[in-house]
């Protein structure tokens, strides 16, 4: 008959095989999810970069001046620093005081 130590060793070996295969499958699933999220992040970063590039190009002062002169008949002037409101609350407070 098998001794008690051999039975315990075989049971521990079988249990460790089951646990290792379970952990391996879980880590493989996590790696697939990580890869999927990395692809999404890269796609979003690329879109963000392109959007920022478009914004910087389209909102540059030179480009805006060109659009105004090409598409508008009105004359525009620059604002002084004291005419710029930093927030809606700042604007509303200014209007209440006047």
- Indicate yes or no: pTM above 0.75: no
- DSSP-derived secondary structure letter, 86: S
Separation CA 32–CA 24 (nearest Å): 12
pLDDT digits (tens, 9 = 90+) for 32-73: 999 999 999 999 999 999 888 888 877 887 877 787 788 777
Q: Please give the Cα distance from 69 to 47 (Å, whole number).
A: 31
Cα–Cα dist 75/68, whole Å = 9
Query: Which DSSP letter does residue 59 get?
Result: T
Band of the pLDDT at 1, cuts 50, 70, 90? low
17-41 mean pLDDT? 96
Q: Where are the beta strands (DSSP E) in the chain?
A: none
Distance CA 29, CA 82 (A): 58
């Amino acid at each position: 008959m098998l001794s008690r130590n051999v039975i315990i060793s075989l049971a521990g070996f079988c249990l460790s095989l089951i646990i290792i295969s379970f952990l391996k499958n879980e880590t493989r699933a996590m790696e697939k999810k990580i890869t999927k999220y990395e692809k999404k992040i890269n796609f979003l970063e690329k879109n963000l970069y392109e959007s920022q590039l478009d914004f910087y190009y389209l909102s540059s002062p030179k480009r805006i001046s060109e659009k105004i002169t090409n598409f508008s008949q009105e004359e525009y002037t620059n604002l002084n620093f004291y005419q710029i409101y930093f927030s809606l609350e700042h604007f509303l407070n200014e209007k209440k005081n006047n």
